Amino acid sequence: MLRITSGIYRGRMIRTPSGDQTRPTQARLRQALLNSVQASLPAAQVLDLFAGSGALGFESLSRGAERVTFVESSRVAAGIISENAKTLQVQNQVSIQTQSVEIFLERFDRVRGPFDLIFADPPYEKGWEMKLLEGVSWEQWLSPQGAFCLEWGVQKSLVGELPERIHGLVKSREKVYGDSVLTTYMRE
Protein backbone atom coordinates (compact mmCIF):
# COMPACT_ATOMS: atom_id res chain seq x y z
CA MET A 1 0.00 0.00 0.00
CA LEU A 2 1.11 3.56 -0.76
CA ARG A 3 -0.17 6.79 0.72
CA ILE A 4 -1.04 9.77 -1.50
CA THR A 5 1.27 12.53 -0.24
CA SER A 6 -0.64 15.73 -1.06
CA GLY A 7 -3.65 17.31 -2.67
CA ILE A 8 -7.33 16.42 -2.28
CA TYR A 9 -6.59 12.70 -1.77
CA ARG A 10 -3.75 13.32 0.68
CA GLY A 11 -3.46 10.49 3.17
CA ARG A 12 -5.61 8.09 1.12
CA MET A 13 -4.08 4.67 0.51
CA ILE A 14 -3.74 2.95 -2.86
CA ARG A 15 -2.81 -0.65 -3.52
CA THR A 16 0.44 -1.71 -5.15
CA PRO A 17 1.21 -4.92 -7.04
CA SER A 18 2.91 -7.54 -4.90
CA GLY A 19 6.22 -9.07 -5.85
CA ASP A 20 9.11 -7.48 -7.69
CA GLN A 21 7.55 -6.94 -11.13
CA THR A 22 6.98 -3.26 -10.34
CA ARG A 23 9.03 -0.78 -8.34
CA PRO A 24 6.77 1.93 -6.89
CA THR A 25 8.29 5.39 -6.89
CA GLN A 26 9.23 6.28 -3.32
CA ALA A 27 7.07 8.91 -1.57
CA ARG A 28 10.00 11.33 -1.36
CA LEU A 29 10.66 11.06 -5.11
CA ARG A 30 6.94 11.38 -5.96
CA GLN A 31 6.72 14.53 -3.85
CA ALA A 32 9.88 16.02 -5.35
CA LEU A 33 8.79 15.26 -8.88
CA LEU A 34 5.26 16.59 -8.48
CA ASN A 35 6.44 19.66 -6.56
CA SER A 36 8.74 20.45 -9.50
CA VAL A 37 5.83 20.43 -11.99
CA GLN A 38 3.09 21.73 -9.64
CA ALA A 39 2.43 24.83 -11.75
CA SER A 40 1.62 22.61 -14.75
CA LEU A 41 -0.76 20.25 -12.93
CA PRO A 42 -4.06 22.17 -12.78
CA ALA A 43 -6.26 20.88 -15.63
CA ALA A 44 -3.32 18.92 -17.10
CA GLN A 45 -3.57 15.94 -19.41
CA VAL A 46 -1.09 13.43 -17.95
CA LEU A 47 0.47 10.28 -19.41
CA ASP A 48 1.91 7.80 -16.90
CA LEU A 49 4.16 5.29 -18.71
CA PHE A 50 5.22 2.10 -16.90
CA ALA A 51 2.46 3.01 -14.44
CA GLY A 52 2.76 0.12 -11.95
CA SER A 53 0.30 1.02 -9.18
CA GLY A 54 -0.50 4.34 -10.83
CA ALA A 55 0.96 6.32 -7.93
CA LEU A 56 2.33 9.18 -10.09
CA GLY A 57 -0.93 9.52 -11.99
CA PHE A 58 -3.10 9.42 -8.87
CA GLU A 59 -0.84 11.98 -7.16
CA SER A 60 -1.34 14.16 -10.27
CA LEU A 61 -5.13 13.86 -10.04
CA SER A 62 -4.93 14.67 -6.34
CA ARG A 63 -3.10 17.89 -7.23
CA GLY A 64 -5.53 19.01 -9.92
CA ALA A 65 -4.77 17.16 -13.15
CA GLU A 66 -7.84 16.79 -15.35
CA ARG A 67 -7.15 13.36 -16.81
CA VAL A 68 -4.51 10.61 -16.63
CA THR A 69 -3.76 7.90 -19.16
CA PHE A 70 -1.98 4.96 -17.53
CA VAL A 71 0.12 2.58 -19.63
CA GLU A 72 1.01 -0.70 -17.95
CA SER A 73 1.78 -4.04 -19.61
CA SER A 74 1.00 -6.21 -16.58
CA ARG A 75 -2.67 -7.19 -16.41
CA VAL A 76 -2.37 -7.61 -12.64
CA ALA A 77 -0.95 -4.10 -12.20
CA ALA A 78 -3.53 -2.63 -14.60
CA GLY A 79 -6.25 -4.29 -12.52
CA ILE A 80 -4.83 -2.67 -9.40
CA ILE A 81 -4.83 0.73 -11.14
CA SER A 82 -8.50 0.17 -11.95
CA GLU A 83 -9.24 -0.74 -8.31
CA ASN A 84 -7.34 2.34 -7.13
CA ALA A 85 -9.38 4.54 -9.49
CA LYS A 86 -12.58 3.09 -8.01
CA THR A 87 -11.30 3.59 -4.46
CA LEU A 88 -10.57 7.27 -5.19
CA GLN A 89 -13.77 7.57 -7.31
CA VAL A 90 -11.91 8.96 -10.32
CA GLN A 91 -12.85 6.35 -12.95
CA ASN A 92 -14.16 9.07 -15.30
CA GLN A 93 -10.77 10.82 -15.19
CA VAL A 94 -8.60 7.86 -16.12
CA SER A 95 -7.85 5.68 -19.10
CA ILE A 96 -5.94 2.44 -18.56
CA GLN A 97 -4.00 1.04 -21.51
CA THR A 98 -2.96 -2.55 -20.78
CA GLN A 99 -0.16 -2.94 -23.28
CA SER A 100 3.55 -2.43 -23.64
CA VAL A 101 4.85 1.12 -23.80
CA GLU A 102 6.40 0.34 -27.20
CA ILE A 103 3.07 -0.64 -28.75
CA PHE A 104 1.26 2.26 -27.09
CA LEU A 105 3.75 4.83 -28.42
CA GLU A 106 3.37 3.49 -31.97
CA ARG A 107 -0.36 4.28 -31.94
CA PHE A 108 -0.68 8.01 -31.31
CA ASP A 109 -3.79 8.29 -33.48
CA ARG A 110 -5.83 6.25 -30.96
CA VAL A 111 -4.92 8.35 -27.94
CA ARG A 112 -6.05 11.66 -26.51
CA GLY A 113 -3.00 13.81 -26.81
CA PRO A 114 -0.80 15.72 -26.79
CA PHE A 115 -0.07 15.57 -23.07
CA ASP A 116 0.97 18.37 -20.73
CA LEU A 117 2.98 16.02 -18.53
CA ILE A 118 4.47 12.65 -19.36
CA PHE A 119 5.92 10.54 -16.55
CA ALA A 120 8.14 7.52 -17.20
CA ASP A 121 9.52 5.25 -14.50
CA PRO A 122 10.86 2.35 -16.58
CA PRO A 123 12.87 -0.64 -15.38
CA TYR A 124 16.32 0.83 -14.73
CA GLU A 125 18.40 -1.93 -16.28
CA LYS A 126 16.66 -2.22 -19.67
CA GLY A 127 17.97 0.87 -21.51
CA TRP A 128 14.60 2.64 -21.69
CA GLU A 129 16.04 6.10 -21.05
CA MET A 130 17.57 6.51 -24.49
CA LYS A 131 14.86 4.44 -26.22
CA LEU A 132 12.31 6.97 -25.00
CA LEU A 133 14.40 10.07 -25.66
CA GLU A 134 15.38 8.99 -29.17
CA GLY A 135 12.38 6.98 -30.28
CA VAL A 136 9.40 9.20 -29.44
CA SER A 137 7.96 11.87 -31.72
CA TRP A 138 7.84 14.52 -28.99
CA GLU A 139 6.08 17.16 -31.11
CA GLN A 140 3.09 14.78 -31.30
CA TRP A 141 3.09 13.50 -27.74
CA LEU A 142 4.03 16.59 -25.71
CA SER A 143 2.12 19.87 -25.71
CA PRO A 144 4.19 23.01 -26.54
CA GLN A 145 4.78 23.85 -22.85
CA GLY A 146 4.75 20.20 -21.81
CA ALA A 147 7.26 18.37 -19.63
CA PHE A 148 8.66 14.86 -19.89
CA CYS A 149 9.74 13.57 -16.45
CA LEU A 150 11.98 10.53 -16.41
CA GLU A 151 13.10 8.52 -13.38
CA TRP A 152 16.24 6.45 -13.91
CA GLY A 153 18.93 4.78 -11.80
CA VAL A 154 22.52 5.85 -11.34
CA GLN A 155 23.78 2.33 -10.57
CA LYS A 156 21.53 0.11 -12.70
CA SER A 157 20.87 2.13 -15.87
CA LEU A 158 22.79 1.50 -19.06
CA VAL A 159 23.69 5.21 -19.30
CA GLY A 160 25.78 7.34 -16.98
CA GLU A 161 24.13 10.62 -17.92
CA LEU A 162 21.38 11.93 -20.16
CA PRO A 163 21.91 14.51 -22.93
CA GLU A 164 21.17 18.20 -22.38
CA ARG A 165 19.29 18.41 -25.71
CA ILE A 166 17.76 15.69 -27.83
CA HIS A 167 15.05 15.51 -30.54
CA GLY A 168 13.35 18.81 -29.68
CA LEU A 169 13.71 18.42 -25.90
CA VAL A 170 15.94 20.40 -23.56
CA LYS A 171 16.84 19.29 -20.05
CA SER A 172 15.34 21.72 -17.55
CA ARG A 173 15.98 19.96 -14.24
CA GLU A 174 17.92 17.00 -12.89
CA LYS A 175 18.25 15.90 -9.30
CA VAL A 176 19.76 12.79 -7.70
CA TYR A 177 17.94 10.99 -4.87
CA GLY A 178 20.13 8.13 -3.66
CA ASP A 179 20.29 5.66 -6.56
CA SER A 180 17.48 7.39 -8.46
CA VAL A 181 17.68 10.41 -10.73
CA LEU A 182 14.72 12.58 -11.72
CA THR A 183 15.33 14.33 -15.05
CA THR A 184 12.81 16.72 -16.58
CA TYR A 185 12.82 17.77 -20.22
CA MET A 186 10.78 20.55 -21.81
CA ARG A 187 10.01 21.05 -25.47
CA GLU A 188 12.34 23.54 -27.15
**pLDDT 10s digits, 98-142:** 999 988 888 765 567 789 999 998 876 677 888 888 888 888 889
- pLDDT single digits (tens) 37-88: 888 889 999 999 999 889 999 999 999 999 999 999 999 999 999 999 999 9
pLDDT at 157: 59
Angle, CA of 61, 173 and 165, to the nearest 5°: 115
User: Alpha-carbon distance 114 to 147, whole Å?
Assistant: 11
Q: Which has the closest alpha carbon to 63: 90, 96, 92?
A: 90
- pTM over 0.95? The answer is no
Contact present, 75 and 52 (Cβ < 8 Å)? no
For residue 114, what is the domain's CATH number?
3.40.50.150
- 138 within 8 A of 168, measured Cβ to Cβ: yes
Return all residues near 3 (Cβ < 8 A) that are at least 6 apart: 11, 12, 13, 14, 27
Distance, CA of 139 to CA of 148 (rounded, Å): 12
Give the model's pLDDT for residue 110. 56
Q: Are 41 and 30 in contact (CB under 8 A)?
A: no
Number of domains in the chain: 1
How many Å apart are CA 61 and CA 42, to the nearest integer?
9
Domain that holds residue 12: 2-187
Query: Counting Cβ atoms within 10 Å, is residue 176 exposed (0-12), middle (13-18) or buried (19+)?
Result: exposed
Give the residue among 84, 64, 80 at the shortest CA–CA distance from 13.
Answer: 84
